[in-house]
Amino acid sequence: MTQQPWERGRRALWQLYQSASRQLGDRLDQELQQHHDLTLVDYEILSELVRAADRRLRMSDLASQVLVSRSRLTYRIDRLVDVGFVTREECEDDRRGMWAIITDRGRAAHGRARDAHEAAIDSLLFDQMSASETETFRRILGRISTKLSQDSDRDR
């Protein structure tokens, strides 16, 4: 009798991936909170806004880029507004839409956190792989991302 793929280690690999991914996210979140008073989601929001044209994005676009629900994004944006890192403005061409705009203070906070955050990613992830493993990892993730994007486009 032929073993099913899940019986040959795929389940263990999937569980290892989930565990490592969760632990990595938790550690990066913990370090950002401890040293910069930002959550990982806050940092990702600020990163997207720093890279955006005019340092602003529609809330709906920001939610899809940061990969959080709109309600969670609204909650995090509220906090970033309270500490002066982001402002909100109504979209002139769409009264229902809102812009999230990074402030100078938000750009400075992002800049202070960036080097330490990238060093933590290097230490916890990339330093654990050789250059060829890193390239293989990039190719695999690229294929997965492409597949998921194609499936998503097809489902629309």
Helix, strand, coil shares of the chain, percent, nearest 5, are: 75, 10, 15
Matching CATH number, 12-110, of 1.10.630.10, 3.40.50.300, 1.10.10.10, 3.40.50.2300:
1.10.10.10
d(CA 156, CA 50): 29
Q: What is the residue extent of each domain of the chain?
A: 12-110
pTM of the model: 0.86
Residue 73 contacts residue 46 (beta carbons within 8 Å): no
57-81 per-position pLDDT tens digit: 999 899 989 988 888 999 999 999 9
pLDDT over 60 (residue 1): no
